[in-house]
A and B are shown apart, each in its own frame.
Chain A
């Protein structure tokens, strides 16, 4: 059994940021990650990280934009923290070695992003996530941090409401390991693989959320799933909102900038939920181009494209066979981000004492019903940092609690049983069925009948999943067994999303119901909290939204 004061699970931006905060204080914090840290999905973030730095900009404006963007479901106390701490966080990253593009005055360059009143997205060309991830990772190396990489976490262990540690599967050796800790932070990212046509890495299977749910920690607002308006038609690979920030047009088959109809003022820079719906409407009404919309950057000119959007250019060439300098890029909405997640407060604390979460896996909630582009990277560093600070404080009085070692054995048996199974079902194919079901029936536009069908499909898949066969019976680097287990996590998360979406009988932010097309503040200005009942069913509860400064108003762009 390993024993460390703090175990950070996940090595994307939130995990690394928290880790730096702890390690620079000399605290015994280690990183446990399913992949080597630099492989984390934060690296794929492209366009920007928001902070009100400009002379005419103010953090209060960023505050309001974010509240409005969240369709008033975001907690205003948390959003105030997010936006007022944003500028200092950016400068701190810069001091740590992160490089941002510069403006002519010697400050950090900023570009416009959707739903923001000012150009306030700081960037490094169109690879800011990559830049931040590697910059933070370098700092984790600076503080000589122990990293258990290619470890897959299967359980949280708690004792009387206090965290005891985790159970993890060492992918390299096939051994289960208990790791006792006084504090555990989950920065395990999202669940993009629940949907087909998503922008997420293949590793984004909602593991942290599923493990938390199974440990009795509530998940909040899981029905809010962000569909990014611009993902490559064939692969779902992300095309940054920065493209529209730089001035790209969205065109339908008639060559019309259709956003004038949906968001006459903000046009292409309306928030993602608005743009994604507009695109889907155009496609549904027959004005798409082979089921896609065209993103046109040609008028920006070769030089600007190469300078500001080099990755987009390369991705379009490599994955879509289109050079955006000469041709518009075929794109469509694709699942991108989870607004919901493990319920935390603004210091990352959860329902279990000593157990924290930050980043996409957490729901603070600063994004409410719809996240604004450039706010997720900000979320990771602001709340990753805060969790680190809070954990350091917490440790002063914390002690190791009793670690129930039978859980190690339990997880081992689950894996062994799965491994021995010679069932006829293949998880890869079941996953594809699930993903397509979720895209089609719990997607951009939702309605009760279709969602109930999806729930039924999930039930069916759960049943069939009992008959999954795993080809790989060996111990060493058995990715077959890991993927099979990941599939069970995806299934569970899908179930939470679909049931939450059925429950919420209104349209708000990214959650749009054809059968309830209006926002209903009277009944639904509240968070949903999902937990697992004794019978394995999803139970729902509600909690209040923090409203401090901005009373809900109609949301138009």
Chain B
């Protein structure tokens, strides 16, 4: 079968405008999009530029938009794409500036990885005194003990340490579209990975405190794109939500994001419903409400302001019992 590859082309060295260029490629069984691009580069047009390395979905180099979705070119088969879209349309990842053709500038992405302090803070006490030494004849090493359960959130197939930093999630992330300062799913997944590490000695909870600042974990828009499009099956958003829970349980609630969630929980506890006005008030405080005033006013004129006092749902005691059972009443 011959199929078309439509490529995004941009080289500021030779022209300041991006354009698309099409190539006709002959397929072979099991051909991947990366195979197709390599074939174009080696046989038709050496100027087509893209990153690639391992070709087995572990190095994360060849992430690009394929028919509109961020994927690894090396693990995306040509055939199903053609069946679905009739063409292979390749474009650079989103949310990062394009350097050339399918290559994006990744500096901001990796800066965010650095920002979350991606390493163990301190050492567990019994590890602190350990010194490296080569074994002498007949000598054996003594290992520190860590049980399986201590690493249970770090050793599953889809757990965050499997992240390859390919930037697919970052490219698809709704949070980053809106807010260039948002850490994004990969960095937050890494934050989660270290916050779950039994060897981490983060005595004052600084990880979650720092992670709660502007641009941190509360800026997630819950669009689920990071989970959906992760080529390694990892769910950054689930890690983010677990950190939300952990932060709130540890009273790290200074962020408006935390206040927002607590307010929703409280509203449900009191009425069984989500009280839009009260939640808006609790989340933003007075300032937030003033900010929203023109909005609220505009909406109000059209009768959109929701009722101030909400009717309770039927059998409200059921809900109260759920809070009681989970020991959440005073939270």
Interface residues of A (CB under 8 A from B): 35-36, 38-41, 43-44, 52-53, 55, 58-60, 81, 84-85, 87-89, 91-92, 94-97, 99, 101-102, 104-108, 124-125, 127, 130-131, 134, 138-139, 141-142, 172, 201-203, 234-235, 237-238, 306-307, 310-311, 314-315, 318-321, 426-429, 431-432, 470-472, 474-480, 483
Contacts and interface: CB of A to CB of B under 8 A. Distances in A.
Interface residues of B, number: 73
B54 A44 contact: yes
Nearest to A108: B143
A88 B132 contact: yes
B56 A44 contact: yes
Contacts of A107: 143, 145
Contact of B58 (A130, A432, A470): A130
B46 A474 contact: no
A172 B97 CA distance: 14
Contact of B162 (A60, A104, A130): A130
Closest 3 CB pairs of A and B: A428-B42, A471-B46, A106-B145
B324 interface: no
23 contacts: A35-B51, A38-B59, A41-B54, A41-B59, A60-B137, A85-B135, A87-B141, A95-B130, A99-B151, A101-B151, A102-B146, A102-B155, A106-B145, A106-B146, A106-B148, A124-B155, A318-B57, A426-B46, A472-B47, A474-B47, A476-B12, A477-B99, A478-B49
Contacts of B120: 95-97
Contacts, number: 200
Contact of A474 (B14, B132, B144): B14
Nearest to A35: B53
Interface in B29-75: 29-30, 32, 38, 41-43, 45-47, 49-61, 75
B147 interface: yes
A167 B54 CA distance: 26
A138 B119 contact: yes
B56 A315 contact: yes
Interface string B111-146: 001100111100100010010111111111101111
A38 B61 CA distance: 9
Contacts of A472: 46-47, 49
B251 interface: no
Contacts of A471: 45-47
A88 B133 contact: yes
Given A87-B135, A88-B135, A477 B55 contact: no
Please classify the interface of chain B as helix (H, G, I), strand (E, B), loop, or mixed, using the class held by over half of its residues: loop
A24 to B, nearest CB: 12
B135 A84 contact: yes
Given A39-B53, A141-B113, A172-B99, A130 B42 contact: no
B20 interface: no
B264 interface: no
Contacts of A432: 42
Interface of B: 11-14, 29-30, 32, 38, 41-43, 45-47, 49-61, 75, 77, 99-101, 103, 106, 110, 113-114, 117-120, 123, 127, 130, 132-141, 143-148, 150-151, 154-155, 157, 161-165, 194, 197, 199
Contacts of A202: 52-55
A236 B265 CA distance: 53
B143 A428 contact: no
A472 B47 CA distance: 5
Contacts of A101: 148, 151, 155
A116 B270 CA distance: 65
Contacts of A102: 146-148, 150-151, 155
Nearest to B150: A102
Given A39-B53, A41-B53, A44-B58, A92 B132 contact: yes
Contact of A237 (B11, B56, B145, B148): B56
Nearest to B77: A318
